[in-house]
Structure 1
Amino acid sequence: MSVTPLGERDYQSVVKEAQKAGYPTDTARHGVAAYRLTYRTVAPDGSPTTASGLLTLPRGGGHRLPTVVHGHGTLAYRGYAASVADGPDRTVSLLYASAGRAAVSPDYLGLGTGPGPHPYLDNRSAADASLDMLRAAHTAAPKLGRTLDGRVYATGFSQGGQVAMALGRTLNSDADTRFHLRGVAAVGGAYDLDSSQLPGLFDGRVGPGSAVFYTAYFLTAQNRLHHLYSDPRQVFRAPCAEHVEELFDSNHPAEQIAGKLPETLPELLSDQWHTKLQNPSGRLLAVLRSNDFTCDWKPNVPVTLYSASGDHDVPIANSRHCAQRVSAHGGSARVVDEGDVSHYAAFQRSLPEIARSFPTSP
Structure 2
Amino acid sequence: MKAERVSRMTGSEVNAFLGKAGFPAIENAKGVDVYRVSYRTVDVNGGPTTATGSLVLPQTSAHELRVVSYSHGTMADRREAPSVASTGEGRYLPVYFATHGFAAAAADYLGLGEGPGAHPYMHTATEAGASIDLLKAARRLAGQQQVTFDKRIMVTGFSQGGHAAMALGAALQKDRDLDVSAIAPISGPFDIEHAEFPAAVDGRLDGRSAAFYLAYWLTSMDRVYDVYDEPSEAFRPPYDAKVTDLLDGSHDLGTIAAALPSTVDELLTPAYLGKLGKPTGRLLKAIRRNDTTCRDLRPGAPVRLFAATGDRDVVLANSESCLKDLRARHVDASLMDVGDVNHLTSLRLSLPKVLAWFQQGAGTTAG
TM beyond 0.5: yes
SS in 2 for 1:358: helix
Counterparts of 1:1-362 in structure 2 under 5 Å?
1-26=1-26, 29-86=29-86, 87-173=88-174, 175-176=175-176, 178-296=177-295, 297-359=297-359
CA distance in 2, matches of 1:24, 1:276: 46
Task: Output one character per residue of 1:122-152: Cα deviation in whole Å (capped at 9) or x when no partner.
Answer: 0111101101011110111122342212131
CA distance in 2, matches of 1:17, 1:89: 13
Paired residues in the alignment total 359
RMSD: 1.5
CA distance in 2, matches of 1:119, 1:326: 25
1:111 Cα deviation after fit: 0.2
1:156 Cα deviation after fit: 0.2
1:61 Cα deviation after fit: 4.2
CA distance in 2, matches of 1:109, 1:21: 26
1:230 Cα deviation after fit: 2.0
Q: 1:27 to 1:313 in 2, by over 3 A?
A: farther
% same residue: 41
Structure 1: runs of 5+ lacking an equivalent: none
Which one-letter code corresponds to 2:347 in the other structure? F
Task: Output one character per residue of 1:266-316: Cα deviation in whole Å (capped at 9) or x when no partner.
Answer: 111112111111221222112111111100123312210000000000000
Task: Output one character per residue of 1:332-359: Cα deviation in whole Å (capped at 9) or x when no partner.
Answer: 3110001000001000001111112223
CA distance in 2, matches of 1:244, 1:306: 32
Which one-letter code corresponds to 1:22 in the other structure? G
Tell me if structure 1 keeps the 8 A contact 2:307–2:316: yes
Task: Output one character per residue of 1:53-86: Cα deviation in whole Å (capped at 9) or x when no partner.
Answer: 0000011141111110000000101000010012
Tell me if structure 2 keeps the 8 A contact 1:237–1:270: yes
Q: 1:18 to 1:317 in 2, by over 3 A?
A: same
Give the TM-score taking structure 1 as reference length. Answer: 0.96
Which one-letter code corresponds to 1:226 in the other structure? Y
CA distance in 1, matches of 2:325, 2:117: 34
1:330 Cα deviation after fit: 1.7
CA distance in 1, matches of 2:255, 2:227: 25
Task: Output one character per residue of 1:126-184: Cα deviation in whole Å (capped at 9) or x when no partner.
Answer: 101101011110111122342212131000000000111111111123x13x3231111
Q: Point out 4+ residue stretches in structure 1 off by more than 6 angstroms.
A: none
Tell me if structure 2 keeps the 8 A contact 1:27–1:99: no
Q: Which has the higher contact order (CA 8 A, sep 6+)?
A: 1
Give the TM-score taking structure 2 as reference length. Answer: 0.95
Structure 2: runs of 5+ lacking an equivalent: 362-367
1:237 Cα deviation after fit: 1.0
Q: 1:116 to 1:103 in 2, by over 3 A?
A: same
Task: Output one character per residue of 1:308-328: Cα deviation in whole Å (capped at 9) or x when no partner.
Answer: 000000000000110100111
1:107 Cα deviation after fit: 0.2
1:360 Cα deviation after fit: 8.8
SS in 2 for 1:138: helix
Which one-letter code corresponds to 1:77 in the other structure? D
SS in 1 for 2:188: coil
